[in-house]
Amino acid sequence: MIVILCTSRSGSSLVAGVFKAHGCYLGDCGTFADYERFENLRLRNHLRHRQHENGWKFPQMVKDPGGSAELIKQLKLDLYKCGVEFWEILKPHASHVVKIYRDPEMAVKSVAGRHSGGNIKEAEYRVATRYQMLDAISGVTVNTDEVIAGDFTTLQAAVESCGLKWNEDKARKVVDPSKWHHRK
């Protein structure tokens, strides 16, 4: 399974969408605000429920809450995207790792606006900590600022490193600026 690891508001859905366009099975991702989540809902709900049930506190890595391996096998996903704090659970199932980066300042602004109630210091801490966690994990990196700007170099390298045949037309259909709120 390809595992896409990220910090919040980094463009991971954009990258997962490109992988889906290249034939990766993500299972039922559902929608949010009229756009596809690109994150399997069943696995997401399982991990998040157990995360809170076990009293997880940021920035700890989330420990396997039990039942994750069985669920992952049952879902037969080609790809799953999630916050880097879930890496320890997904590591045994990962055939490839794709790490998502964007300009930290832009990520902080977006996180503060969506997840930290406008608290810039909290958002800076969360983004910086998640990037440090990502730096400690081996994998190919996609810079979503470059992708949005039309430079697909890191995206193409990621797709090809996972054994998929790159198709720029498929990628361009997903990387339609009118569909994404990356700059906000």
- The string of pLDDT tens digits covering residues 72-101 is 999 999 999 999 999 999 999 999 999 999
**pLDDT, tens digit, 9 for 90 and up, residues 116-143:** 567 899 899 999 999 999 999 999 999 9
What is the rounded distance in angstroms from the CA atom of residue 55 to the CA atom of residue 15?
30
What is the rounded distance in angstroms from the CA atom of residue 21 to the CA atom of residue 107?
25
> What CA dihedral angle connects 5, 127, 116 and 102, to 10 degrees?
-70
Give SS3 for 95.
coil
Q: Is the pLDDT of residue 152 over 80?
A: yes
Q: State phi, psi for 101 to the nearest 5 degrees.
A: -130, 150
Between these two residues, 158 and 59, which has the higher pLDDT value? 158
Can you give the pTM of this predicted structure? 0.91
Burial class (CB in 10 A: 0-12, 13-18, 19+), 10: buried
Contact (CB, 8 A) for 184 and 113: yes
**pLDDT, tens digit, 9 for 90 and up, residues 17-58:** 999 999 999 999 988 766 778 999 999 999 988 888 888 888
Mean pLDDT to the nearest integer, 99-106: 94
Burial class (CB in 10 A: 0-12, 13-18, 19+), 112: buried
Least confident piece of the model among 45-49, 63-67, 171-175:
63-67
Query: Which domains does the chain show, CATH number per domain?
Result: 2-176 (3.40.50.300)
Contact (CB, 8 A) for 84 and 133: yes
